[in-house]
Amino acid sequence: MKNIVAPGAPPEVGATLQKIRLKRGLTLDDLSRAAGVSKSMLSQIEREKANPTIAVAWRLANALGIGIEELLATNTRESEAIHILEPHETPTLPGHHSGYVLRILGPMDLAGKFEWYELTLASKGALKSNPHDPGTVEHLTLLNGTLELEVDGVVKSLKSGGTARYVADKPHAIRNTGTEEVKALLVVIHR
């Protein structure tokens, strides 16, 4: 059971934030970009020179894939057998201008090694990617509808329930050419 700091004494958010950030292998720059909080503000928070607003704490927690209460706790839940993330706590990468939403399902400490996402593509939406590091592969399982997958100029269709496995160290794109929104699970393995 975690202990919440008594009223009147603010929690030591900085130490907790730094511990979680370092455990996940994130730099201040990484967390700054993911949370939309300036690097200087993050540094001040970690050094206990500033306390985050609720909005900033929520953005940091969301970017780290934890609940806001974990940032405000006096100890972390490392010994907790099951940690549930509520839907609103799952970090999301919106690409509204391109018609996609990526929900980050994997823990941040595996980023750059193994990553998994829920991909939602609006009708005519597309997720276009530049080549990843050499040897990177992706596994895309379509949950409903049909998609068009393009890898290094080769185009194939994927139907509901199907899985495409492909190299991701080449330019690649996932497109919803249909009229209905589609969902897929995307696993990225970096080698």
pLDDT at 74: 55
Question: Quick check: pTM over 0.85?
Answer: no
In a shared domain, residues 142 and 59? no
- Domain with residue 60: its CATH number is 1.10.260.40
SS (H, E, C) 16-85: HHHHHHHHCCCCHHHHHHHHCCCHHHHHHHHCCCCCCCHHHHHHHHHHHCCCHHHHHECCCCCCCCCCCC
**Number of structural domains the chain divides into:** 2
Cα(31)–Cα(85) distance, integer angstroms: 19
Domain housing 158? 90-189
Q: Is 65 exposed, middle or buried (0-12, 13-18, 19+ CB in 10 A)?
A: buried
At which of 42, 72, 102 does a domain end? 72
In a shared domain, residues 94 and 167? yes
pLDDT of the chain, 191 residues: tens digit per residue? 444 444 455 667 888 888 888 888 788 888 989 899 998 889 888 888 888 888 888 889 888 888 888 887 755 444 568 877 777 777 787 787 889 998 888 887 777 789 999 999 999 999 999 999 999 999 999 999 999 999 999 999 999 999 999 999 999 999 999 999 999 999 999 98
